[in-house]
Amino acid sequence: MTKKAAIIGGGVIGGGWAARFLLNGWDVAVFDPDPEAERKIGEVLDNARRALPALYDKPLPSEGTLTFHDDLGAALEGAAWVQESVPERLDLKHRIHADLTRLAPADAIIGSSTSGFKPSELNEQGARAIVAHPFNPVYLLPLIELVGDSETCARAAEVLRSVGLYPLTVRKEIDAHIADRFLEAVWREALWLVKDGIATTEEIDEAIRMGFGLRWAQMGLFETYRIAGGEAGMKHFMAQFGPALQWPWTKLMDVPEFTDELVDLIAGQSDEQSGHLSIRQLERLRDDNLVGMMRSLKQSGSGAGGVIRAHEALLAIPQVGDLPVTLDIQVPQTWTDYNGHMNETHYLEAGAKASDCFMEMIGADADYIAGGLSYFTAESHVRYLDETHQGARLQVQTQVLSGQGKKLHLFHTLLSGERTVATVETLLLHVDLGTRRSCPPADHVAAALESYASRHAALPQPEGVGRAVGQRP
């Protein structure tokens, strides 16, 4: 049965929540009096459809149904999750949450996207909300800070993990939760650097993205500093740099006055830095960069990449007739080249990912490899037959040509819609990782492989099998 989420407030954050649930198979009802809400959420969804599936090598669930409502009760009817994302005014949130508590299903989780208010403040007039604070774009960034009733937060965490998010339950309620307190500290210091003429907005952004921002993306703060302490670790780092905390390096307890002059200075520098791009262009640039970094992190399971890997493991592998679908991916921007289409390297990568998936299907999975046995690729032949582009859905169907003894002979057909865009024929050898020499597979792997091989033997041989480079059609 399809679950339903109700999104209250359809701005940037509300639109991101709608996209996250919708693209994970939930029905989504949006309540927002703004006459432009449908257009705005439609544009956020366009970006989300372009970006989120590109993180995965399996297809996300079929999209849910999106509806817009001008009646709050209708939007809330049957909702399992209610997300309030209205402006940061406590009086407004009190009015909204009074209605949500009265009209929402009794078992629905009611979350607030508030950046700074505590649950005790949200609920001081009888509401039952928890804080579920996201980060923009919600459809890509996994962190959700949960604050409030422990039982409700535990239920909320299960839901959030099911749609690919990372719930972080805050131990004690505090103004601005955890992450925004760091952002506020950095923001204050940045304002002083601009006001005092030490750096421009662009120079500050360069300092972050060329340096510690890259480290933080995959290790955070404390693990980064642990490494900075060298072999002696964190104690050495603290002893070496701890005294600097007493030096007047920062102005964290001071806030520069927001005069018209300071606002104009910062706005002018920001326009000079990024004014040549529209907001939608900046959003797409941001999304492409995030997808590229998060896909890289997925390889090691670090940071946000570990969240994607865990979520992807929950997604089903589809089947087309007798052929397993061993890869189903939306082509990310990082797979394209200067010609505007998917680069030749990534056709082979798609074939390699398909081989890895098939190995898992026959039992040659991570545990099997950890036990000292695996398959190595001995030879591959790629045929490039047609173009495919960023955002296109690429599906790989795999046929076993033979699977006796030490050899595994696979033929991967890469499809974009109904078009065959490439084939990858691959010969793999089963290997003992201790001796690095070929050997027969374990019995359970051999039996699973034989089952596929016997079924696929009855299928027509794919066109292109055994071709050599330069051979005429």
Q: Which parts are annotated binding residues for NAD(+)?
A: 9-14
Contact 374, 433 (CB under 8 A): yes
Phi/psi of residue 302, each to 5°?
-85, 145
Place of tokens 């102005």: 251
Do residues 15 and 40 lie in contact, with contact meaning Cβ atoms separated by under 8 Å?
yes
> For residue 325, what are its two tokens?
């679908």
Q: Is residue 28 classed exposed, middle or buried when 0-12, 13-18 and 19+ CB atoms within 10 A define those classes?
A: buried
d(CA 377, CA 364): 14
Q: Is-contact 290 333, C-beta < 8 A? A: no
The structure tokens 């050997």 sit at 439
Find out whether the peptide bond into 137 is cis, omega within 30 degrees of 0. Answer: yes
Q: Are 357 and 319 in contact (CB under 8 A)?
A: no
Would you give the DSSP letter of residue 336? Answer: B
Contacts of 298 (CB under 8 A, 6+ apart): 55, 305, 306, 308, 309, 312
Alpha-carbon distance of 382 to 438, in angstroms, equals: 24
Structure tokens at 43: 């544009």
Enter the tokens of residue 354: 């398909």
How far apart are the C-alpha atoms of 32 and 71, rounded to whole Å?
Answer: 9
Annotated binding-site residues read 9-14
* H-run or E-run covering 395: strand 393-402
In this structure, the strands spanning 437-438 and 407-416 are: unpaired
Rounded to whole angstroms, how far apart are CA atoms 44 and 38?
10
- Give Dmax (Cα) for the chain: 78
Cβ–Cβ < 8 Å for 332, 390: yes
Sign of CA pseudo-dihedral 313, 318, 319, 324: negative
